Structure 1
Amino acid sequence: MTEAAHYNPDPHAHPGLHVIAIFEAAKGLLALFAASGLELLGPAPLLRWVHDLMVRFQLDPNQGALAWLSNTINPDSVHLAAAAVFAYGLLRMLEAWGLWRAKAWASWLGCISAAIYLPLDVYAMFRHPGWVSTAVLVINLIVVAVLARDLFKRRH
């Protein structure tokens, strides 16, 4: 018998779990690719990009956030950033696997991690009103609602 034949999802699980799982897997893969890119490219392209931004926007290379970033980018900081992005990617992939298999812990993880972004989404909507910030907020609200509903149905 194949593993698929042994798969018996929770009948109370929300059908949207698979959609969210695919979305989380895509985010995870993007993060893993980004971490790999950071490791392969190193600090030189990042420094060039920051310098190009400073020139384009005529910013002082000795003051401001981009100046601080320029002084912070080095091989060690790039390795640390790549490790953090890699860990994030693995977490998203683990969540995707758990949601695909209708695991309650994955619904908890997804619900909490999506809910953490809601205040930032609301802030972004007021700071930068438009369809993009509205869409991001609505999508996150839907994800939280679907996962919360899944958890609620499992309890009752």
Structure 2
Amino acid sequence: MTSSENGLKAIAVLEGFKGLLALMVAVGIHILAGRNLQQVAESIVSHAHLNPASHLPSIFIHAVGNVSASNMSLIAIGALAYTVIRFIEAYGLWKGLVWTEWFALVSGAIYIPFEVYEILFHTSIVGVGVFVINVIVVWYMANLLLRQRKNRTLAEDLYS
């Protein structure tokens, strides 16, 4: 197995993991459908031994309390669609399908400006980690596609 195949498989695993997380969100939202979400949020905060009156837990409780049933359905559908996209991308990268290589490059690059904004205005370890991983994936995919293009051009020159 070549290093590019290993890299593609590693990115495929990452994409599959992202799809699995999105699937867990979709299932979790489905399970919570019809429940009093503010009460669920308060229960989570209490279970985590957090002060519900402090800044972040109160923001969480307030935000969850304002989510309507129709919004829950839209979020669940969105999470399910994201799951399907990530699983298709993971499969394609695992199999070395070129179109998924391009898709991985473009879909990763789209997030970079938003991640930079998040780092600039809401810096966190998780945000920086996600940004670094995404930049590595985008750099790797761009590098791989450029090498493939160069190899194809060299082969065309040799046979023309």
Counterparts of residues 33-44 of structure 1 (less than 5 Å): 33-44=24-35
Contact 2:37–2:64 (Cα < 8 Å) also in 1: no
Unmatched 5+ residue regions in structure 1? 1-8
The size of the alignment, in residue pairs, is 141
- In 1: Cα distance, 2:110 partner to 2:133 partner: 14
1:105 paired with 2:99, answer: yes
Counterparts of residues 4-153 of structure 1 (less than 5 Å): 13=4, 15-44=6-35, 46-50=37-41, 56-57=52-53, 70-74=65-69, 76-129=70-123, 131-153=125-147
**TM-score (normalizing by structure 2):** 0.72
Decide which structure has greater helix share. Answer: 2
- In 2: Cα distance, 1:42 partner to 1:145 partner: 40
SS in structure 1 at match of 2:96: coil
Higher relative contact order (CA 8 A, sep 6+): 1
Unmatched 5+ residue regions in structure 2? 46-50, 151-160
Q: Please, what is the CA RMSD of the aligned residues?
A: 3.0
- In 1: Cα distance, 2:148 partner to 2:141 partner: 11
How far the C-alpha of 1:12 sits from its partner, in A, is: 9.3
Contact 2:38–2:61 (Cα < 8 Å) also in 1: no
How far the C-alpha of 1:129 sits from its partner, in A, is: 3.9
**TM-score (normalizing by structure 1):** 0.74
SS in structure 1 at match of 2:142: helix
* Structure 1 outlier segments of 4+, above 6 Å: none
Distance 1:58 1:49, change over 3 A: farther
